[in-house]
């Protein structure tokens, strides 16, 4: 299930409008963070971390944040 999720994230990166893709406040970007979290923590914990990160992706948050 992890590799299916990662493939879907890559698909999102290809088809999402540029207004969504280039505006992440964090390093790495939220989609890259999700891939790293899935690889490191597995499906359920990886998605939990990714969703929490997406929730935080607004001002005044930002900066360097690795899973």
What is this structure's pTM? Answer: 0.84
pLDDT tens for residues 13-50? 899 887 777 777 788 888 899 999 999 999 999 999 99
Phi, psi values for residue 64, rounded to 5°: -90, 130
Q: Does pLDDT of 8 surpass 80? A: yes
Q: Residue 36 has which token pair? A: 């790293």
CA-CA distance, 41 to 24, in Å (whole number)?
A: 22
């Amino acid at each position: 299930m992890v590799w299916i999720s990662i493939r879907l994230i890559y698909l999102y990166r290809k088809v999402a409008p540029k207004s969504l893709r280039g505006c992440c406040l964090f390093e790495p970007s939220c989609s890259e963070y999700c891939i790293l979290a899935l690889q490191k923590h597995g499906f359920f914990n990886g998605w939990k971390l990714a969703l929490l990160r997406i929730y935080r992706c607004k001002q005044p948050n930002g900066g360097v944040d690795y899973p």
